[in-house]
Structures are given as structure tokens and as C-alpha cells.
Amino acid sequence: MTPQPPPDVLESQNRKLLRVAFFGDIVGKPGREAFAYAAKRMREENKADAIIVNAENARHGAGLHPAGYQEIKDAGADLVTLGDHACDEASIFPTVRDPQEALIRPSNLGPAKKSLAEGRTFARLYKSNGSPTPIYVTTVTGRVHMKHESSDPFAAMDTQVNTIADEHPDAMVIVEAHCEATSEKNALTFHAIEKHRGRVIAVVGTHTHVQTADPRLVGGVASLTDLGMCGGHGGVIGFDPTLSRKRLIRQSGGKLEPCDQDLQATGALITVDTEAKSATSIELIRIRTQETLVK
């Protein structure tokens, strides 16, 4: 006999509602462990049908390496995204270029980084509980207070959404806004509402590592200024507080180490009506590990 899903999963399927969990930036090994714990909880408690996570800081706080990517996938990520640190670890480039992998880079990286990373700029969210309406994910990076070079994120969103629509007319799109400024992320949300209502179902921010308390639903588009991070919340945005303080006081570069205290994973849970092609709710996720897992 074929095992049957739990009752609430069946109910979700009957109503054609999907629950997508999107977690903020993974910071180093502590972040990978925090995400693994949170993803397991989300699956066991049947809170999410699909899980997305940003992993641009997963390799010791900068970039992503193949072993870390595999670890994150094995932990439960259905799709992994990158940000302005996409090119910090060159060993991930072949994985980014592989169309069979569940990994995407920002679509509007500057010419230098784009030529290095190449790879896909959008991908289908693979686990969707058999929904006939596919959900795609794409990432754009901001230009306000960002050190890296990138092109217009608003135009990049338009290009990505329209390209997805041309290839997959029924698709819904989740846009990750990897930006420093809250104003830019908010503006990208309203750009989606004005230009892509009925196709874009969510615009969620990453990059600052600080979860914001502003989830909202406007015109069927769910938004959150920043998802936060997976990692040590006992430090400074995921890094050792002493080293971070010294670096800021001296106003110079210096080595940073991921913090392994108070491991938490933060993000958002978005519920999507696949018949109406709109989001119906968005709520904050904050999961603290029951013990320090990092050895």
C-alpha cells in the first residue's frame, strides 16, 4: 500500500494551497547547522511543502563551496540562492553552471562577476506537492549602499519575470531582493505589484542578516523587507562580536569568524493559492536550536 500524506497535507492539496519556507542567509558552519535543524523541524511538523535558502555566506562567512551546497541540499533545501558574494568561492562555479543543480545566482551581477559565475538566474521550485502551476524563483541584487557592481534591479526583475512567462505561461514567481537598503527592497515590492501582479507572488529581502518585523500582503503579493539569517545570533550579524567590533573601530579589513552562539534560523513562510496565482499569507519564522550543534 502506498503511504498517504498526513491529513493536513491532503487538505492543502485539495485547496491547492502550498506553503513555501524561505530562510535568510546561511553564515558559515553554524548557519549550516542552524538551517539543517530548522529544515528538519519544518518537515517533521509539516509546516512547509518546499524550502528555499540563501547560502552566499555558507562557506565560513563568504561564498559557497560544493561540499557546503551538498550539505544544505541534504538538510532539506529544495532550492539554494546566492547574492553579491556569489563569486567569493570559485569552486562553486561549475555547480552554478550545471542546469541540473538547484542553485541560482543573481540575474544582475556586474560584468566582471557575471563573466565568472555565469549559471542560471531562475529555477523552478522542484517540490511543489504536485501543483499543476509551477513556482519559479529569481534573485536580483540592489545598488543602494552595496559595494559590488550590478545593473538596474527593477529592469532585471522585469526581464526575469517576462522570460519565465514566455517559457512557462502559467508560472508564478518569487523574487528575492538581495539589497542593503530597506527602501530599495520596498520599492521592488511595489514595482512587482504594479508591473507583475498575478505573476509575482512574493518579494522577500536578504543580505542584512537582520529579520524585519514587516510581513505584509498587498494585491496578492507577499513581502518581507529582510528574512534575516541562519547562524549565531549571539554575535554581530552572524560573526564573532569581538572581531567585528575591532574591525569597525579600526575602520579596516580584518579576519571575521562565524559566531557559534545562540544558533537560530529565521525567514518567512508564504502560503500560495495556486488557482488564484497569489499569496494568501506570510508569517515570520524563527527557530532556535535546542542545543549548540557546532563542535
The secondary element (H helix, E strand) that includes residue 158 is: helix 153-167
Backbone angles phi, psi at 270, to 5 degrees: -110, 125
CA–CA dist 15, 195 (Å, integer): 27
- Which letter, b or e, does each residue of 166-176 get, where b requires 16 or more Cβ atoms within 10 Å of its Cβ? eeeeebbbbbb
148 is catalytic: no
Question: Across the chain, which distance is largest between two alpha carbons, in Å?
Answer: 66
54 with 68: CB under 8 angstroms?
A: no
Beta bridge partners of 177: 140, 205
For residue 206, the one-letter residue type is T
Number of neighbours of residue 8 by Cβ within 10 angstroms: 11
Among 65, 85, 178, 233, the one annotated catalytic: 85
Grid coordinates in use for 245?
A: 567590533
**DSSP structure class, residue 16:** T
Spell 26-46 as b/e; 16+ CB within 10 A means b.
bbbbbbbbbbbbbbebbeeee
Amino acid in the structure at residue 277: K
Burial classification of residue 295, based on how many CB atoms lie within 10 Å of its CB (0-12 exposed, 13-18 middle, 19 or more buried): exposed
State the catalytic residues: 85
